[in-house]
Amino acid sequence: MAAGFVLAVHGGAGTIPREADPARAAGYRAGLERALRAGHAILARGGGARDAVIAAVCILEDDPLFNAGRGSVLTAAGGIEMDAAVMDGRTGEAGAVAGVTGLRNPIVAARAVLEASGHVLMIGPGAEAFARARGVETAGPDYFLTPARRDQLRAAQSAGTTALDHDGAAGTVGTVGAVARDATGALAAATSTGGLTNKRPGRVGDSPLIGAGTYADTSVAVSCTGTGEAFIRAVLAHDIAARLRYAAQSLDAAVAGAIRDGLDARGGRGGVIALDRHGGAALRFNTEGMYRGIIRADGHPETAIHSES
């Protein structure tokens, strides 16, 4: 494959009925396209993969349709606790926040952790205070909370379950992520989420855990979405990198194998977006659908929801 820059995004995976409202589907696709174009603009002017994935994820965090930033799902206590991570495959640096609230763009806080904290993962009030001190924008509860999320929490609570965002009757979709390969061949990955509807306060998912829901090195960049507990146990994002490095598998075989052995085998559900250093892409899931998209140097965004759409 000709080396060129490329960016892929996801907006969550799950039970997305095919007969879902076409206007809603168009709204999700429009959000994915905006994110692809924002990342593309950076890569087209020679910007780095790290900047591109952050820009794409910020767009999705700002869009209340997606379960990240504004529009995050609610915990069992009716609160918002967000997780996010970014990893730069060129330098091997990573930054993440978990269980944060009141930060408009948790992925920007994750970036601040990467660039300025000397740490990799910060949680709760300490992470929030650090982010505020670094100038990360804050917002009040009214900014984050949408009526759809309240309905979704009520539905999950009356069913006595936790839910992937897009499994809810409200149909709003989940976790967001981006992977990019820039014009120099450097890779980066970013993931941001409100987690699972009706999760216990204090629960942390796979998204901010480097190697579980987010990972990048010089060979591959990976962002995951789905039932976080299964991704954590499988160390799924790193498993894909290990398959490339130690078993010399192709990207597609590595992603398919990790989903089969890591997710299917554990009863986990979800999907993965991954890019390799040659610009190859694999966007796979074991659910009914995954909101996803890809854009290459030609600037033509492609988005899809179900397997053949």
**Which residues would be at the binding site for ligand ASP (CB under 6 A)?**
12, 164-165, 174-175, 193, 195-196, 205-207, 213, 225-226, 228, 270
Q: What DSSP string describes the chain?
A: -----EEEEEEEEE---TTS-HHHHHHHHHHHHHHHHHHHHHHHTT--HHHHHHHHHHHHHHSTTBSSSTT----TTS---EEEEEEETTT--EEEEEEE-SBS-HHHHHHHIIIIIS-SEEEHHHHHHHHHHTT--B--HHHH--HHHHHHHHHHHHTT--B-GGGSTT--B--EEEEEE-TTS-EEEEEEE--SBTPPTT---STTSBTTTEEE-SSEEEEEEE-HHHHHHHTHHHHHHHHHHHH---HHHHHHHHIIIIIGGGT--EEEEEEETTS-EEEEESSSEEEEEEEETT---EEEEETT-
Nearer to ligand ASP, 47 or 262 (CB): 262
> Least separation, in Å, of the C-beta of 190 and ligand ASP?
13
> Least separation, in Å, of the C-beta of 213 and ligand ASP?
6
> Least separation, in Å, of the C-beta of 162 and ligand ASP?
9
* Marked catalytic residue, from 162, 175, 193, 214: 175
Nearer to ligand ASP, 31 or 174 (CB): 174
Nearer to ligand ASP, 186 or 236 (CB): 236
> Least separation, in Å, of the C-beta of 218 and ligand ASP?
25
Nearer to ligand ASP, 12 or 48 (CB): 12
303 is catalytic: no
Catalytic residues: 175
